[in-house]
Each structure stands twice: as C-alpha cells, then as structure tokens.
Amino acid sequence: MTPDDAPRGALRHQQDTEERQSRERPGRASAGERTGGGARDTERGPRGEDGGVLDEALERLHSTGPERNGRLSNHAPMAVEALVRGGHGGAVHRWVDRYRDKLEQAPSSYARVTEENWREALGDPRRIADWTAYFGVRLTEAPWRAVLATWWPRLLPGIVAGATHPVIRTGHAVRTLLATEAGARGAEESARPREPDGPRLAELAHALGYWAARSQPLPAVRALGAYGSADAALDAVPAVAEQRGGIRERLSCLDAFPVWPATEVGGPREAAERLRELVAAAVRRYATHAHGDPVMLVHAATAPNAVLRVLPALPSGLWAPSLSAAWRASAAVTAAYAPARAASPKHLEAEAEALDAAEVFARAAAHGDEHAVKFADTALDPALNLTDPLTRAAALRAVELIDPLW
C-alpha cells in the first residue's frame, strides 16, 4: 500500500473557501469495522417505501438554510432522500437529529425576484430566500415539469454553483417527484399522473432557488484531444496548476478539457447512454483517485448522476445539452482535486466481492457521513446497473477515507 492508499488523518470539509471542516476522531478503522459499534439505527425497509418519513424529514429541514458557516452546503435533504431510497428510512430522524445542530435558520428576504428582474438576480447569494419564494410561487402556478423545463436550460450554464450541490439537490428532488407520480399512477390505475404537492414539491423550490442564487458559470477552456470513452476522457483531464484553496479558486484556474463525447450524440437515447457511461467512469475513478480529496471528488460522480435522474422529467431536446453540462461539471471537479497518481483499491475489491449492493449501502448508512451516503446512492444506483466489484469498492473507499458522522 502506497502512502496515497493509506487513509488520511482529519479531513477538512470545505465548499469554496474549503468545504471540508476539521473533526476530532480516533484512529481510522476499516470499511467493514465502521459498521459496528456506536448508537446507530439502520433499520431497513422496502426500497423506495418511506411511510411518510421523507415528508416529515423535509418539513423539519425546510426551516433551515441551504448553507451554513459561510458557504458550506446543507446536505441533509439529499442524504435523507438517499437513506429512504436505500431502504434505511428507520435511520432518518435520528440522522437528522444529529446533523441538524450544524444547520442555520433559513435566510431572510433581501429583494424580491420577479419575471422582470430574474436575470440580474441570477448568481446573487443574498437572494437565496427570494429565489426559493419565487420558485415556490411558480410551482403553484404551473406543473412542476413545466417549471423545470423552463428553468433547466437557464441554470445549466451555472452547473458548478455551490460546488455542484444545487444540481445534486435538484436531482434528489426530481427523483422523489417522479417516484411520487409513478406511485400515484399505480394506486389510481390511471395513466394521468397526480401533481405532487407538499414538502416534496417545496424541496424542488428550495433546490432550484439555491441553484439560481449560487449560479456560477465555468471559465472558457481550451479543447484538448477527443476521446471515445468517458474513462479515457476523465483520465486525460489535466489537473489545475494550483491545487490550493477552495473550489472557486481552483475552478478559476481551469485551462483545458478533453473533448468528450468524441462525436455529436445521435439523439436523446444516446445522450442518456453516454451520461450513464460518464457516471460509471467517475465512480470507478473514485476507487483509485479518491485520496486526492475524498469529499470533493464524490461530486465528480454525484453531479452527473443528478443530471441523469432529471432527464426523464425534461423534454428530449434538453438531453444532449444536459450531457454536455454534466461532462463539464465532472471534468471540473476532477481537475480541481486530481491526485498526482492513482492508488490501488485491491483490498477493497476483495471485500466488495463478498458483498451485495444492499450490504455496501448499509455500511455507508451506518457510517453516516452525508458524502459517503450520497456517493453510495450513486455507485449502487439500480438505474446504472453497475455490477462489477470495483463500483462497490468505490463506495467502500468513501466509507474508508471520509470521517464518519457517528
């Protein structure tokens, strides 16, 4: 095992001015050992069935702001959705009890966002509350899919906003709304979807409002050579010259990206297939490169997967532009935190061989850190159909390297 293979000491969770925050912790245990000990509730229920737990958790969280301590993101709405989706709804309220102490009250209104002034309000973090209120109104006036179709192309250029957390939060919100519609269709035996309401719809307003307020376009970059596979393209992403400071400083140093896909996609179906390929490549790369920054490199996979989750709710004409934006986001995070060399995940691959997806997710849920949970939610996403042990090893790598919540 090289020094880069070895688990680190205390990590600093940062976003922009450094998402990672220092935590006191004892010596690091293996991914397997971390599932034992401590007071944890990992009661499992049927996948996707929450019995109202998700609604209750979202209602508790909507009185809090999307950020804390300056620019650290509030991950709770995303993490609780992932826990419920992964069959660990019984752990949600206890998880929120532990995490909520970190959070701050929702910010106050600064200046109302309207149809006339939204362009000048885009990217103004002082107006987070106003943007959330704006989307709350829009979502009562029109179906949520129509609002999303209008605003998705307006927000895509700023996909790296808030270190990609707003688009990730949007992906979790949309997945819930799509599941709500599907459940209603099944219950009513009708082809007409029931328009969701309540905290799940409010969560979409919070996600879109956060994205709009933090919108951050990437700088223009040079095009490097074209690559046929997402794995090769990510491997070819050059690291930023100055690997110091927060993500905003690092993204400002971006210079060039490989061209991927190498040829124009042939239609929405191919765009979705390529997006799945990108997420899978980013998951696999995490297994070998996570030591560059175990927290931040999670987003190279979770951001494009959030986009993938939104595609079914979008007009097909937006799928190809969504693929392009997802590639830029994944490449940007990769460039910002790329380590000097790869590490071997063989010890975790061997462990992953003996575990199924549910068992790996259970380890992430027991670990408790929001990034470990969300990364496992992506790496083990049934929509990706990733069955190779390396993807499960990647989820275990996050459990191994990231400080546990409990």
pLDDT in tens, 311-366: 999 999 999 999 999 999 999 999 999 999 999 999 999 999 999 999 999 999 99
Determine how β-strand 13-14 pairs with β-strand 19-20: antiparallel
Whether residue 376 is contained in a domain is answered as yes
Whether residue 30 is contained in a domain is answered as no
Lowest mean pLDDT among 49-53, 146-150, 185-189, 197-201: 185-189
Q: Decide if pLDDT at 39 tops 80.
A: no
Band of the pLDDT at 21, cuts 50, 70, 90?
A: very low
Is the domain of 210 the same as that of 316?
Answer: no
Q: What is the mean pLDDT of residues 99-125?
A: 96
**C-alpha distances out from residue 49 to 41, 53, 55, 138, 250, Å:** 17, 9, 12, 28, 40
Is the domain of 194 the same as that of 97?
Answer: yes
Query: In the listed set 190, 217, 244, which residue is the last one of a domain according to the structure?
Result: 217
Measured distance CA(257)–CA(221) in Å, rounded: 7
10 Å Cβ neighbour count for 346?
11
Is the domain of 201 the same as that of 258?
Answer: no
Query: In the listed set 183, 217, 251, which residue is the last one of a domain according to the structure?
Result: 217
Whether residue 239 is contained in a domain is answered as yes
Whether residue 337 is contained in a domain is answered as yes
Is the domain of 95 the same as that of 150?
Answer: yes
Is the domain of 60 the same as that of 155?
Answer: yes
10 Å Cβ neighbour count for 338?
21
For the record, the structure tokens of 126 come out as: 């002082």
Whether residue 17 is contained in a domain is answered as no
Q: What's the distance, CA 25 to chain centroid?
A: 25
Say how many domains are in the chain.
2
Query: In the listed set 217, 248, 265, which residue is the last one of a domain according to the structure?
Result: 217
In the Cβ-directed half-sphere of 330, how many Cα atoms lie within 13 Å? 35
Is the domain of 303 the same as that of 175?
Answer: no
Measured distance CA(257)–CA(177) in Å, rounded: 34
Q: Where in the sequence is the domain holding 369, given as residue range(s)?
A: 222-401
Is the domain of 263 the same as that of 370?
Answer: yes
Whether residue 264 is contained in a domain is answered as yes
Band of the pLDDT at 377, cuts 50, 70, 90?
A: very high
For the record, the structure tokens of 106 come out as: 């929702």
Is the domain of 155 the same as that of 183?
Answer: yes
Is the domain of 270 the same as that of 321?
Answer: yes
Is there a contact between 375 and 34 (Cβ–Cβ < 8 Å)?
Answer: no
Is there a contact between 94 and 130 (Cβ–Cβ < 8 Å)?
Answer: no
Whether residue 38 is contained in a domain is answered as no
Is the domain of 208 the same as that of 229?
Answer: no
Whether residue 18 is contained in a domain is answered as no
Is the domain of 198 the same as that of 261?
Answer: no
130's CB contacts (< 8 A; 6+ apart) are 109, 110, 111, 112, 113, 121
SS3 245: coil
Measured distance CA(35)–CA(401) in Å, rounded: 14
Is the domain of 136 the same as that of 174?
Answer: yes
